[in-house]
Amino acid sequence: MLTNKQKKKLLKKKHPQNQPKASNYISEMLTYRSLFDDYPQIKFLINNVIESDHLIKQGLLPQDLPELILPDDSQDQIFKQINLKFKPGDPQGDALWNQLSEALPKLDKQLRSFRDYLEEEYGMWAYISAPFVKGLAEYIGNDAALEIMAGNGYISKGLKDQGVTIFPTDNLAWVSENQTGNHQLIPVEKLDALAAIDKYKDQVKYVIMSWSPDKDPIDVAVLNAIRKADNDLELIVIGEKNGATNSKEFWQQAHFIKTDAARKLNDHHQPFDLIKDQVYLVD
């Protein structure tokens, strides 16, 4: 059996042949919703996935997600429900039991693959919800912010809609390799992280860095650039500490501040799979 650490490593690998095909993922989830219609706890998880996809497809930020893990007693629930509907030995009941039992591990895999689907279909790496961005906007207040490595601009678009002055930037080096780069939610200025900080450091109070690559020391260079800036810049980091994002050196050198404020921001940034990314306030 795979350990959680091994499973996380698998989640981080991007092998298209092992990922759910984006074109089929939601149609399969709709099928599972119909199949498990009599099981509210299971259907609740499926509905969250479908509704999130519906909102993102419309260019809107989704709502918070629950942890997308099937209840431990799912098979027991199915067994009890079938026994209520069918007499022991009824061929229809046996057939339904076999169908649902066979579908359950496949559904479990699909739920755990939702992040992969979001990455492949929309270029959304960190799951950014509307309630989270609202809280982030309230934290930033009347100050301005710079987003580096903004990708398709989910955070910046959400903040702009909340009235925040935001400058979304990215080196966009990945766009030619990834179809999702054609689906920006907001115009993203082509600037690498250090050039962006140099350009905007006197215009902003906050720098937002989400899901920096885990083996690229650019995050340490960003940290040093922020510390060298004349004004008092604060770094807002979204990532998994000593895990799927950011370099080991970054986590060693980061000074975590305002833990109460970070905890409040994380009220709407809770893990939904094996990647436990969080919001950190750093100087």
> Does residue 218 share a domain with residue 117?
no
Whether pLDDT at 90 is above 60: yes
Q: Are residues 92 and 136 in the same domain?
A: no
Question: Running DSSP on this structure, what letter comes out for residue 126?
Answer: S
146 and 273 both lie in a single domain: yes
- What percentage of the chain exceeds 90 in pLDDT? 84
Verify that 113 and 194 share a domain, yes or no.
no
Instruction: With cut-offs at 50, 70 and 90, classify the pLDDT of residue 182.
Output: low
How many whole angstroms separate alpha carbon 209 and alpha carbon 22? 27
Q: Are residues 176 and 105 in the same domain?
A: no
CATH at residue 254: 3.40.50.150
Q: Summarize the chain as % helix, strand, coil (round to 5).
A: 50, 10, 35
* Residue 136 to residue 147: CA distance in whole angstroms: 13
DSSP reduced 3-state for 168: strand
Mind listing the pLDDT tens digit for each residue in 155-166?
A: 999 999 999 999
Whether the per-residue pLDDT at 281 is higher than 70: the answer is: yes
Q: What is the pLDDT of residue 198?
A: 97
Contact 283, 257 (CB under 8 A): yes
- Which pLDDT score, from 0 to 100, does residue 76 have? 94
DSSP assignment of 69-113 = ---TTHHHHHHHHHHHHS-TT-HHHHHHHHHHHHHHHHHHHHHHT
Q: Which domain holds residue 239?
A: 130-282
Mark which of 61, 87, 122 sits at the end of a domain: 122
Question: Does residue 248 register a pLDDT over 60?
Answer: yes
> Are residue 137 and residue 51 in the same domain, yes or no?
no
Q: What's the mean pLDDT when you consider all of the chain?
A: 90
Whether the per-residue pLDDT at 213 is higher than 50: the answer is yes
What is the separation, in whole angstroms, between the first and last Cα of the chain? 40
User: Residues 6 or more apart from 197 whose CB is under 8 A from it?
Assistant: 146, 148, 207, 222, 225, 226, 229, 233
d(CA 282, CA 235): 5
In angstroms, the CA 28 to CA 31 distance is 5
The pLDDT tens digits for 93-135 are 999 999 999 999 999 999 999 999 999 999 999 999 999 999 9
Under DSSP, is residue 222 helix (H, G, I), strand (E, B) or coil?
A: helix
Pick the last residue of a domain from 74, 94, 122: 122
pLDDT above 50: residue 55: yes
* pLDDT of 177: 56
In this prediction, residue 180 has a pLDDT band, given cuts at 50, 70 and 90, of: low
